[in-house]
Every structure is written in C-alpha cells, then in structure tokens.
C-alpha cells in the first residue's frame, strides 16, 4: 500500500522572517513513514520545517504552510491508499504576508488572523475507500475531543495523546497513545519509543484496511 504521511509543524509567515508556528519536531510522522517502509509499504512524507533525516526509502516533499501542505496532499492523494495526518497544522495564519520584512514602526501590535483550511476535512471528498488516520494532541483526558475529531473529520482512526503528561507529545522520543477506530474499538498503548508506537499504528491500519485494499503485507 502507499502511505501518505504528514509530519512536523506548519509555519504561517507574516513576513519573510516572522511566522506563527508550534514546537512539533516531526518525529512521530517520520517514525510512521519509516515503520510503513519497514512493513513493506511505500511512503511519501509531506513535511513541514523539521530537522530530521528522511527515512531511507521514503519520498519527501517539504512544505512550509498549511495551504502548501494541502496543495501537496491534493496532488498526492489520488495514488495513496492511506493518509496519516500527524502534522501539527496551524489553525490560523496572518491575514496578510508582506513580501519584505516589516519594520517595527509599521507594526501596531495587532495581528489580524484568518482560519486555515482543515486539511482532513478538505480532503474528505477525495477519500473514497482510502484509510484516513489523524492525531489528537490534547492536554488532559483526550478521549472526548478525540472522538469528536474522528467524527467531524470523517476519520477511520484517531491516535490520541495527552501532551501534558511526562514523556508524551511534542519534541520527545517517546509517546503514550490511545488508538480509537471508527468501529468503536479503543487500544491503549503503554509509554513507548515513537518508533514502536508507529510500528503498532501501521500494523493496526493494515489490519483494518486489509479488507479494502489488496496487497497489504502487515507484519
């Protein structure tokens, strides 16, 4: 199968040297792409600005903003079997982006923002029989929000974690997640390295997608 995986933050520029972003390292998405390749699949990584080496065998497309990520995914989705959205997409962007550096004297302390598109919702009309998985990074018990996001974004699976608990979430090498599937199942994984979390996620996706797609080689 072909896995299309997003990773990292997006940057929403207000001028060439200033942007809104978040501390996502991209480790989880890169681990998912690497795990897909290890399991015998094809992987295309659509990555926001991160400083990670591309997993051997993955094709990487670098993007900057949420709109750039959406454009890249629209080009790639037709040939994909699975979409895993692990990118921490910025929900807002500056209403205007200046082509040249804004001078302090030109800024009045007010930054007008507009909503970014929700990438998963925008891609939903192109979903067909493809398997869509998302991540929900929450502070506190993530279950209610995760289930809401799975429903609202039309997902087959959502991987939820409490980013405020030790060893979880942004910029660390471990994660503890709960995996919710549209069939109502819930799997709680222990605190593990992100590479091990990714291997379990790929295996679960394969098991669920096997009925839909020929050629899945789950290990």
Catalytic residues: 22
Closest by CA to 55, choosing from 3, 132, 92, 115, is: 3
Is 177 near ligand C5P (CB under 6 A)? no
Name the residue with tokens 């670098």. Answer: 62
Is 11 near ligand C5P (CB under 6 A)? no
CB of 170 vs ligand C5P, minimal distance in Å? 13
- Rounded-to-integer distance, Cα 206 and Cα 189, Å: 17
- Rounded-to-integer distance, Cα 21 and Cα 39, Å: 32
- Rounded-to-integer distance, Cα 117 and Cα 147, Å: 20
- Rounded-to-integer distance, Cα 76 and Cα 148, Å: 27
| Nearer to ligand C5P (CB atom), residue 102 or residue 187 | 187
Report the site for ligand C5P in 60-89 (rule: CB under 6 A): 66, 85, 87, 89
CB of 118 vs ligand C5P, minimal distance in Å? 4
Q: Site map for ligand C5P, 98-137, x if CB under 6 A?
A: ------------------x-xxx-------------xxx-
Closest by CA to 135, choosing from 190, 68, 205, 80, is: 205
Q: Which residue is nearest to ligand C5P (CB)?
A: 134
Cβ count within 10 A of residue 211: 8
Is 146 near ligand C5P (CB under 6 A)? no
Q: Is 103 exposed, middle or buried (0-12, 13-18, 19+ CB in 10 A)?
A: exposed
CB of 207 vs ligand C5P, minimal distance in Å? 20
| Nearer to ligand C5P (CB atom), residue 14 or residue 90 | 90
CB of 153 vs ligand C5P, minimal distance in Å? 6
Residues in contact with ligand C5P by CB under 6 A are 66, 85, 87, 89, 91, 116, 118-120, 134-136, 149, 153
């Amino acid at each position: 199968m072909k896995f299309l995986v997003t990773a990292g933050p997006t940057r929403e520029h207000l001028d060439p040297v200033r942007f809104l972003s978040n501390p996502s390292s991209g480790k989880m998405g890169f681990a998912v792409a690497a795990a897909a390749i290890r399991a015998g699949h094809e992987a295309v990584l659509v990555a926001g600005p991160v400083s990670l080496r591309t997993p051997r065998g993955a094709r990487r497309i670098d993007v900057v903003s949420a709109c750039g990520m959406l454009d890249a995914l629209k080009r790639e989705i037709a040939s994909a079997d699975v979409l895993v959205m692990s990118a921490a997409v910025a929900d807002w962007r500056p209403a205007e982006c200046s082509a040249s550096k804004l001078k302090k004297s030109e800024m009045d302390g007010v930054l007008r923002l507009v909503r970014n598109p929700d990438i998963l919702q925008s891609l939903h009309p192109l979903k067909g029989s493809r398997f869509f998985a998302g991540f929900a990074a929450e502070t506190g018990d993530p279950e209610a929000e995760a289930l809401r996001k799975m429903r609202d974004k039309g997902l087959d699976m959502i991987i939820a974690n409490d980013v405020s608990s030790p060893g979880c979430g942004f910029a660390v090498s471990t994660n503890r997640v709960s995996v919710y599937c549209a069939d109502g199942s819930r799997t709680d994984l222990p605190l593990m390295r992100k590479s091990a979390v990714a291997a379990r996620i790929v295996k679960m996706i394969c098991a669920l997608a096997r009925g839909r797609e020929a050629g899945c080689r789950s290990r």
